[in-house]
Amino acid sequence: MSDQHTTDFGYQRVPVEEKAKRVRAVFDSVAERYDLMNDLMSFGIHRLWKRHTIELAGVRRGQRVLDLAAGTGDLAARFAGLVGPEGLVVMTDINARMLNEGRDRLLDRGRVGNVAYCLVNAEQIPFADDQFDCITIGFGLRNVTHKQKALEEMFRVLKPGGRALVLEFSHPRSKPLSKLYDLYSFNVLPTLGRLVVNDPDSYRYLAESIRVHPDQETLRAMMEAAGFERCDYFNLTGGIVAIHRGYKL
């Protein structure tokens, strides 16, 4: 099978049409304990990463925000409070179980009226051009089959003057940290997955998918190729995570 017909699923090569189905199965498996696993895996630091993303987004009252791969809605909930009743947050995910978990959480927190929910594949965003002031995708881009296509779609639906932020696992900046991170990722994460959700394979995929995701400079170049300008990135926790930001000018 030629390489153009296959894509990465962790360290495996799988048919292009199969990846979305496999990713969906991963998140079906972990949806109900997704937040617990995030806290355990990151020692709660994921909350600080998301807070920093919110600050860099600069969202204001009355604005329209698209949150792709929203999961259980951590970013969407914060944005809903910032845009106020005259604004709108569209919370999306490709996985129905994850989206339902997120919707239930936001409803429990009283986030009604200015949040809409939609099943969305980031490669085919079902909205017209120039619709949103801000677009975010948190820990979701590495699961997308055609990442460049997703970035181009984000650029298309962003308003002129708007900004997009990609919060994603990235590549540690130092060799000692990288070795320690590898040891943790390939030994501790699958063990946690087995103990908490009885699914070590999904967390082995997580570790592998991070390693094959573009590094910081490559992703910045991809955003520029999609049309974004003034692209920059911010390394967090030594580069284990990075926030990329670009503008549609």
SS3 52: helix
Alpha carbons 147 and 69: distance in angstroms, whole number = 13
Decide if 184 is inside a domain.
Answer: no
Residue 93, annotated as binding a ligand: yes
User: Domain holding 30: CATH number?
Assistant: 3.40.50.150
Residue 104, annotated as binding a ligand: no
Decide if 80 is inside a domain.
Answer: yes
Predicted confidence at residue 2, as pLDDT, reads: 43
Predicted confidence at residue 3, as pLDDT, reads: 66
Predicted confidence at residue 58, as pLDDT, reads: 97
Summarised one tens digit per residue, pLDDT across range 130-181 is 999 999 999 999 999 999 999 999 999 999 999 999 999 999 999 999 999 9
Count the neighbouring beta carbons within 10 Å of the beta carbon of residue 219: 23
Query: The domain containing residue 140 runs over which residues?
Result: 3-173+205-247
pLDDT greater than 50 at residue 39: yes
| Least confident window among 31-35, 80-84, 156-160 | 31-35
Contact yes or no for 52/45 (Cβ under 8 A): no
Predicted confidence at residue 16, as pLDDT, reads: 92
Residue 122, annotated as binding a ligand: yes
Long-range contacts of 220-225 (CB under 8 A, 24+ apart): 220/244, 222/147, 222/148, 222/151, 223/151, 223/164, 223/166, 225/148, 225/151
Residue 121, annotated as binding a ligand: yes
